[in-house]
Amino acid sequence: MNLVDVQKIKQQFGIIGNDPALLRAIDTAIQVAHTDLSVLITGESGVGKEFFPKIVHSNSVRKHGKYIAVNCGAIPEGTIDSELFGHVKGAFTGAVNERKGYFSEADGGTIFLDEVAELPLSTQARLLRVLENGEFLRVGSSDVEKTNVRIVCATNVDLPSAIADGRFREDLYYRLNTVPISVPALRKRGEDVVLLFKKFSMDFAAKYNVPKVQLDESAKKLLVQYSWPGNIRQLKNVAEQISILELNREVGGDVLSRYLPQPLKSNLPMCSSRSGDRKTFESEREILYSVLFDMRRDITDLKNQIESLRAAQENVKTETPYYTEADEVPVIRQQLPSSYHIQPSKVHFEPVENVVDEYVEEALSLEDVEKRTIMLALERNKGKRRNAAKELNISERTLYRKIKEYGIE
């Protein structure tokens, strides 16, 4: 480890601390900067991972190229492909012009993908292709484009666990993890906590024009022993609060403890979950698929319940014998008494001629009735055929024809 180079980098980027793990991480970044190897920076949120991509870029041959930092967790899933790789005109609704992505803009430079574990699986596949051969496709285009870019990634997620849960591609993990850099948490850096607090108190004293805050031994001991779940970001907030609110610039452990949140205590039963039963959703698509599958399962259960109720109702009904063609249908035989005889009934038939005569006479009587009706109508209207036709509700032409047919004068 070249301590001179490490000290120079610490002064250049304002890094405070002498923890061996921190110095080793800085030295690794300096050594890998002269290559084009992919770098994966891991560490908890708030430990200062954003400094290390800048160290790699500023000490590489690409330092005169562009440096673009992208927060992958802050970009919506539906637009992240367009942001990273660009799109052509008409690729989607609202794409009125073509646009270059970050990989095109950073050609010849360095791109820093923060929170890389938040990338959707489809975008991870695109990123893997860029890492392998420097090729990518714009959204809505079929033309392959190439880029020459150095990729540095960072995450606070345990990627092996994410791979086991199916949230991160294993092949992409090994491609990114060419050179790993682990940034230590603040609670593991010992006396660096006191040095950082002094640095922040001096900065806020100059910013707010107030005297610098001094810590006694009990306060320093409390700083070192505290767990700092928010790491450097939380320490900076505590230093700013004390610089503004405390009138006494000599702060002891009892005063400092009021600004350090204690672990939450609850009397409620702890909800324990087995790792095999834990289900996480990393994208809106996975949530929608889960909802659809749940609805499908509920509909299937509802169908089964309806079929069960229908079968129960059929069982309640009175059962009737059912016979198939192969079954022998029982025949009920009843013996009649030997003295039982069927007596034929007497049927009287009238001559056909009489029926025909009655029908003819009835038909002739209808013609006579019609003729008589016309004659009476003419008499009541004093021979005026128009009035008679109106009374009979027929046309004058029909009346003339009937008069001529029946020979009415």
Least confident window among 207-216, 243-252, 361-370 = 361-370
Same domain, 398 and 366: yes
Same domain, 107 and 241: no
Same domain, 192 and 83: no
Instruction: Give the end of a domain, one of 257, 273, 289.
Output: 257
46 touches 63 (CB < 8 A): no
Sign of CA dihedral 301, 307, 313, 319: negative
pLDDT band at 1 (very low <50, low <70, confident <90, very high): low
Q: Is the pLDDT of residue 102 over 70?
A: yes
CATH of the domain at 368: 1.10.10
DSSP state of 292: H
pLDDT band at 264 (very low <50, low <70, confident <90, very high): low
pLDDT at 285: 62
Least confident window among 56-60, 262-266, 268-272 = 268-272
Same domain, 205 and 216: yes
Number of domains in the chain: 3
pTM (2 d.p.): 0.63
Same domain, 237 and 151: no
pLDDT at 219: 93
Alpha helices in 258-395 (DSSP H): 284-316, 352-380, 385-392
CATH of the domain at 23: 3.40.50.300
DSSP string, 335-363: PPPTT--PPPPP-----HHHHHHHHHHHH
Same domain, 25 and 165: yes
Residue 247 domain-assigned (yes or no):
yes
Residue 8 domain-assigned (yes or no):
yes
Residue 195 domain-assigned (yes or no):
yes
Q: Is the pLDDT of residue 294 over 90?
A: no
Residue 307 domain-assigned (yes or no):
no
Same domain, 131 and 163: yes
Instruction: Give the end of a domain, one of 184, 218, 239.
Output: 184
Residue with tokens 């800048």: 54
116 touches 72 (CB < 8 A): yes
pLDDT at 284: 61
Mean pLDDT for all residues in the chain: 83
**HEC per residue, 180-237:** EEECCCHHHCCCHHHHHHHHHHHHHHHHHCCCCCEECHHHHHHHHHCCCCCHHHHHHH
Instruction: Give the end of a domain, one of 184, 218, 244.
Output: 184
pLDDT at 117: 93
Same domain, 10 and 127: yes
Residue 234 domain-assigned (yes or no):
yes
Q: Is the pLDDT of residue 263 over 70?
A: no
Q: What pairs with residue 99 in β-bridges?
A: 87
Q: Is the pLDDT of residue 194 over 80?
A: yes
Domain range for 29 is 3-184
State the Cα–Cα distance between residues 395 and 397, nearest whole angstrom. Answer: 5
Residue 338 domain-assigned (yes or no):
no
